[in-house]
Structure 1
């Protein structure tokens, strides 16, 4: 990724036209205004865009393949979103090429390099490096080199990058969930799971504290529990440790995701407490786990089909030179089920 690569995307971006317009100039199609043709021809001359390079660029526009990189497709959040992206791509005449990094940053960069070399039309990245709270400078530079020729859409953030962002509105999600629990009489609310150096977790933790302050509820450090993972095991271990501490039990626990929630539910049952009679449990992501758990989980979900449509539409719009918004937010949706109860005042 270190060497400069010039394609019709780079030419189109600098000329302020679509890749199709560059193609028409290269094939001497008369259906191009003189102003646009002159801009494109000047850039072709500037970069020494050869006939061979032109052939590679033109074949790239016809591949109709969008690369999708996820940390682990076994996570139902990524599985749901990947399926919706594939549906959206298929409806628009594209094929989705899926790769898993298995939460390995070196493998993530390897897959990115391979997709880039295969000249996919666009790239969609979920999780991994784009979820880090502090963006890695070297990684940002690599992504910018890719973005020079290939549109990149991420579900996270890369400070200083040329990527397009389609994100869940994490702040609104936490605000809605906290308002729901507090309006139902809960004051001792624990947020459990995740690492504070992960952007989505950090955003939730910040809004959790803001909601407590808004409603005049004292913040308790012991009720904001960090874990190294986002798994069933990490939720089970964290809740076990809370029970072992002999501190005052919260009336409600918010899990960082559905896997963590499942571990929390297991721990509560193993300690002979009832849900929601003794402890209410809520979660994020609203995957199949939430609906199959007993009791079913109250959950902050997202419109996955809209999410998938927006990711794919953004990639295609950028590919066609239409300049989509750099940042778009997917609104959350609260699904109320049986795992939370109202506390009488």
Structure 2
């Protein structure tokens, strides 16, 4: 789908390589500039997040290698970097220098705090960013510390995906005759922006500042319950017709308390009652009871279990390739067959190939 689009990615951690992987999954020619030395901590050789990319290993402290990167950037549609503000400038690869050699370049910057602001040069991680942005606030029931799934809300949702959206928008603009641009993708901005669905719900008074009092974070019909075998079952029957079916399948239709779905004063007590009910049977028994119904109940599965679930297996959402469990490329297209490589290239696997292309610029386009 992105054939003919070239992205240069400077090796980094977390959301930046994920964004590069997503663009490679969509067909872009993503060339990752790896360090010559061993992988950065947390990055194995032939990393999953490098799948579909080409690798060249360079020393960004060496003037000749920096010049080679600049020649590569001159042929690219976009660049991805994930360092703290100012690092790329000190390397001689900042936006001004890169846009000077390629005025249509879309320069993607992936950070937690953004390129400016009081915290811009401060260290942080996923949980810190979504804590400050407001995105972590509703991530637990009252009395419990908020805890979101690691990396999904911040690094990926508020970070990598917003960077990809910005990159694609910038590339479209450049191809339509516009200029290149710098994309400042900050996890705090993206994760805050993701809150707007909840903020829209708040327009009707359904969202309040106090945790456990909003329609999506406190009701007994919007929770995860522990089952008798230590598993978990998710319940989110928001609409009254789905809630009515949920009650019917649990033989609770005639209970006057459960009939008062939106009575906030009853939510804690009814949550405790449902917790006791779900604790009576194992997870998979509950899953079989509700499977195929509109009661909006589903088991909470590990990635390994999800890969075996009939729906996920039918769609091929999870793959095991070369012994590595990984999610297939997404989204899908009706007119393009996506391929999911098993893992990334070896460090500098394509170095000679890319250098040969640079010697013959026509080969790069």
- Normalization by structure 1: what TM-score? 0.28
- After TM superposition, the score normalised by the length of structure 2 is 0.26
